[in-house]
Structure 1
Amino acid sequence: MTSPVFSRRSFQLGAAALAFSLLATGCGAPGSSGDNGQVTLRFAWWGNEYLNAQTQKVIAAFEASHPNIKIKAEPGEWASYWDKLATKTAANDAPDVIQMDQKYIAEYGGRGALMDLSKQSGIDTSKLDKEALASGQYGGAQYGLSTGQNAYVIMANTKVFDAAGIPLPDDRTWTWKDFTDTAAKISAAGGGKSYGAAYGSNEADLIIWLRQHGQDLYTGDGGLGFETATAASFWARLKDQRDSKASPPATVATEDAGAGLEESLFGTNRVAMAWWWTNQLGSLESTTGSSIKMLRAPSISGASAGNGMYYKPTMFWSASSRSKHPQQAAEFIDYLTNSPEAGGILMTDRGVPTNSAIVAGITPSLKPADTTVVGFLKDIAPDVKGAPPVPPVGAGSVQNVIKRYTDEVLYDRLTPQAAADAFKKEVEGMLASARK
């Protein structure tokens, strides 16, 4: 059998989309096994020091109960993780088990670099949330199992609200006008030292806006599912936040975008509202020293049923299609997903588990912030209308493109409509190029 060959030159992850050519399928070989029958699996993930220590703990627990399998840890940081993974995959040296993001499920899986987990008998998916399971599927294959669910929400810093003398909004009934008006009042009270709201300008922000208009960023068949006029209204709203002083000036926002959480406007209690994922609640409260209230997205009509929110997999457990030890890789992924022991170690730091039995088992031991997140995700369930389509091959860097056009609008270099037209044309080109 011949191994699939990938061109390193064609990998461009992070700032640009991953693109590589699968020339042949077959067996390849990152793992190793000794003469005594013991197997070694390489396991790559990204995370901070806390997450790394937690992951090492779950590795130790797995090895203790599976003495024939050793795990070689390959931790990394988000900023460099994808370039390193691209390099290793191009060199036929991908880790056996890979922490994967939804942006890249199609990029890697659709091009043959990931194992179809549905064909591995060692993985039990019977107790997993069906929608979460579908989020790791592409082209009829199961390329990843969700580590847990998240939702994209507005985090409201109660300390900043209290200082401004502004009450928290009712997130079941508020509109975008309510959001902007509230933020503008907080900015006015802050006298240029604090602001009402940060700009929401990543992929999830645009997806929620489009869904409120009955559209989607992507279609199920790998195209784009929105009208440029709707995208233009997204950037027009962000511009209105700037003009009404609900959000910081463009120069301040640009500087803030490059800051770490501890130095950011939100982290230093100088912004009242900002968009974050639910699993970040604990770290936000710890950093700010404030009580943080999670709020549903505003909607056009004020009805929470139309706010466009959705459950997103925090990340995935995936496996290399060229692992020498697919059975053991599947065994490790099944342990991470379904083992009560693993659940008790991993808790909700990679999202609220999609196995309801694991959630029930860990709930008594959850920290207050995590208990709040579990309750919030349950509360919004009636308004969640299903997940958006999986990002197609070629879409890995669309988030960076959205942010770039946001800057173009906020610095008045492009009108919202011109930004929307250019954005759609550019992304269409990215997807078309990836299909060649």
Structure 2
Amino acid sequence: MTIPTSLGRRFRLGAAAVAFSILATGCGAAGSSNSDEVTLRFAWWGNEYLNAQTEKVIAAFEAEHPNINIESEPGEWGGYWDKLATKTAANDAPDVIQMDQKYIAEYGGRGALLDLAKQDGIDTGKLDKEALASGQYDGSQYGLSTGQNAYVIMANTKVFEAANVPIPDDATWTWDDFMDTAAKISASGDGKTYGAAYGSNEADLIIWLRQHGEALYSADGKLDFDTTTAASFWERLKEQRDSKASPPATVATEDSGAGLEESLFGTNRVGMAWWWTNQLGSLEATTGGSIKMLRAPSTDGSSADNGMYYKPTMFWSASSRSKHPAEAATFINYLTNNPEAGKILMTDRGVPTNTDIVQAITPDLKPADTTVVSFLKDISPDIKTAPAVPPVGAGSVQNVIKRFTDEVLYDRLSPSAAAEGFRMEVDEMLSSARK
């Protein structure tokens, strides 16, 4: 999944600033009565499969609510956020918006999203409380989770078998075990197969910090880690390179720009890589083999200390400038709580946070989805509180992590220098956004 560039971020924030000045000039229009026929614009990102699925749930909703028409605005991740910022700036935001947690604060904290907690048409009584909290910012409910995910290591059993390396016990393994396993796979591959891909996602850093009792962000939206701990994160990635547990920097760079079908993991040339649990089905279909999900390694061999957490795959949000807030709330409530909607959406946007919906869809789950539901249940005893919602200005932090990872892997910066540079740059991003 491609994350927008820092240039795109500046454009989005500039457009958002215009949008929020517009929002401040007047109140939102009153919603229409239930008997009026209204049209809601609904924006989301996704592939062809997800688009067809979403159109199906729209048709089901319209059949049940004949006075509400849904106008589809599908898009792709790459251009979705620039387009949304532009429309918000022009006071033309869609009524219902598929939102990512990176931007809950960006949009909600600046007045562009509706506080769903104040909408009578939304029932949150059966939703997981942690999932609810993940869509809250500054005391308002700006999004309802579409479903839960966890960030895990996907082990390609084909690669393990070819290397004659056993899959580790993920309930007790350490980072040393991870490194040793990956190095053995690489050694058997003669430069063609590698043990593990690098983990330079924002979630990788969050998990590492949580294992050390720290966090990327504090509840009040500031950086909340020691620079030496961040440096140890990049030291580990460098060790993966030096021990040949992971590919050379040049190979990793090429791989990061490849689609799944052409990637090292997708072509069965890497044994372990970090993915989100809802991607299991796609990974198995692409590799043509069995993929085993593994918990994150820990520093002490205890799964209770591995720093894993549940993350909302995405959110359902509504524009604060919608002329039909009541109907927008009705649609979001349907997507979140209606069993028929659940049977259409299944787990492609994460495992539903409403346990009634999970029970309703379980008989129809595909094998991979059943595995994901079971896995998320199995790790629940070790899952602690979720990380703080990313603050305003944090939308492009993942790009910064990736850039400093490249600097380390190409020996242009030491891990300590990368950690210091990362902290300074992100702190400036957050400070500028607060002005």
TM range (shorter): over 0.9
The code of the aligned residue for 1:26 comes to G
Give the superposition deviation at 1:317.
0.1
Identity of aligned residues (%): 80
The reply on whether 1:26 has 2:26 as its aligned counterpart is yes
Alignment check: 8 A CA contact 1:17 1:394 kept: no
CA-to-aligned-CA distance 1:211-248 (integer Å, 9 cap, x gap): 00000000000100001000000000000000000001
CA distance in 2, matches of 1:387, 1:77: 27
Give the superposition deviation at 1:386.
1.1
The answer for the alignment partner of 1:208 in structure 2 is 207
The answer for the alignment partner of 1:54 in structure 2 is 53
**Structure 1 residues without counterparts, runs of 5 or longer:** 1-10
Alignment check: 8 A CA contact 2:12 2:81 kept: no
Alignment check: 8 A CA contact 2:195 2:271 kept: yes
Q: TM-score scaled by structure 2?
A: 0.95
The answer for the alignment partner of 1:286 in structure 2 is 285
Alignment check: 8 A CA contact 1:149 1:314 kept: yes
CA distance in 2, matches of 1:240, 1:12: 31
CA distance in 1, matches of 2:392, 2:354: 28
Count of residue pairs the alignment pairs up = 424
CA-to-aligned-CA distance 1:152-206 (integer Å, 9 cap, x gap): 0000000000000000000000000100110010001010111000000010000
- Call closer, same or farther: CA 1:227–1:145 in 2, change over 3 Å: same
Secondary structure at the aligned position of 1:275 is classed as strand
CA distance in 1, matches of 2:41, 2:418: 43
Alignment check: 8 A CA contact 2:150 2:277 kept: yes
Within 5 Å, give how 1:212-361 maps onto structure 2: 212-361=211-360
Secondary structure at the aligned position of 1:26 is classed as coil
Alignment check: 8 A CA contact 2:12 2:85 kept: no
Secondary structure at the aligned position of 1:220 is classed as coil
CA distance in 2, matches of 1:64, 1:263: 41
CA distance in 1, matches of 2:261, 2:237: 25
The answer for the alignment partner of 2:178 in structure 1 is 179
The answer for the alignment partner of 1:98 in structure 2 is 97
Give the superposition deviation at 1:37.
2.8
- Call closer, same or farther: CA 1:418–1:269 in 2, change over 3 Å: same
CA-to-aligned-CA distance 1:99-123 (integer Å, 9 cap, x gap): 0000000000000000000000000
CA distance in 2, matches of 1:227, 1:79: 33
Secondary structure at the aligned position of 2:183 is classed as helix
CA distance in 2, matches of 1:326, 1:281: 36
Secondary structure at the aligned position of 2:13 is classed as coil
Give the superposition deviation at 1:265.
0.4
CA distance in 1, matches of 2:118, 2:394: 26
Q: TM-score scaled by structure 1?
A: 0.95
Alignment check: 8 A CA contact 1:43 1:72 kept: yes
CA distance in 2, matches of 1:327, 1:417: 52
CA-to-aligned-CA distance 1:117-156 (integer Å, 9 cap, x gap): 0000000000000000000000000000000000000000
The answer for the alignment partner of 1:127 in structure 2 is 126
Give the superposition deviation at 1:38.
1.2
Alignment check: 8 A CA contact 2:12 2:82 kept: no
- Call closer, same or farther: CA 1:283–1:333 in 2, change over 3 Å: same
Within 5 Å, give how 1:135-146 maps onto structure 2: 135-146=134-145
Alignment check: 8 A CA contact 1:17 1:395 kept: no
Alignment check: 8 A CA contact 1:284 1:292 kept: yes
**Structure 2 residues without counterparts, runs of 5 or longer:** 1-5
